[in-house]
Amino acid sequence: QLQFVESGGGLVQPGGSLTLSCAASGSTLDYYAIGWFRQAPGAKREGVSCISMTGDITVYADSVQGRFTASRDSAKNMVYLHMNSLKPEDTAVYYCAAGSYFCAEHVWPPRVDEFDYWGQGIQVTVSS
């Protein structure tokens, strides 16, 4: 069974950058689309980005478009979320996920139940 271990979160000042990593084990990620989600206190978990199973399509939420970049490395069985120009409103617990979700602009945003495997979540705090 696919399992993720997330790393790379922490405290960063507004305008700063962080890169989140998810290391997968138990199965190859090649069979799955990848999703990145976040959940702020008191809010629902929301989709941040998705990468198609083949890696040729990446979709972003409007709130992070142009600032975040999601990527996957099949050789290392890892996925990444590079976050630039961070804002206080980006503060949340971030999750990577894998599933059979069809990642495309016209079906955005994804639902949580469209992903089967989840990382443990990692805190990102943007504050001065």
Amino acid at 46: E
Higher pLDDT, residue 101 or 91: 91
pLDDT tens track for 63-73: 999 999 999 99
pLDDT tens track for 4-28: 999 999 999 999 999 999 999 999 9
The closest of 31, 32, 34 to 6, measured between CA atoms, is 34
> Does the pLDDT of residue 106 top 90, yes or no?
no
Long-range contacts, stretch 103-107, CB < 8 angstroms, 24+ apart: 103/33, 103/34, 103/35, 103/50, 103/51, 103/52, 103/53, 103/57, 103/58, 103/59, 104/52, 104/57, 104/59, 105/59
> Does the pLDDT of residue 114 top 90, yes or no?
yes
Q: Residue 105 has what pLDDT?
A: 87
Question: What is the SS3 assignment for 88?
Answer: helix
Contact 1, 70 (CB under 8 A): no
> Does the pLDDT of residue 116 top 90, yes or no?
yes
Q: Residue 118 has what pLDDT?
A: 97
| Mean pLDDT value across residues 95-123 | 93
Q: What angle do CA 31, 37, 39 make, to 5 degrees?
A: 150
Instruction: Give residue for tokens 């199965």.
Output: 27
Tell me the C-alpha distance between 14 and 26, whole Å: 36
Instruction: Give residue for tokens 């069979």.
Output: 31
Percent of the chain residues topping a pLDDT of 90: 92
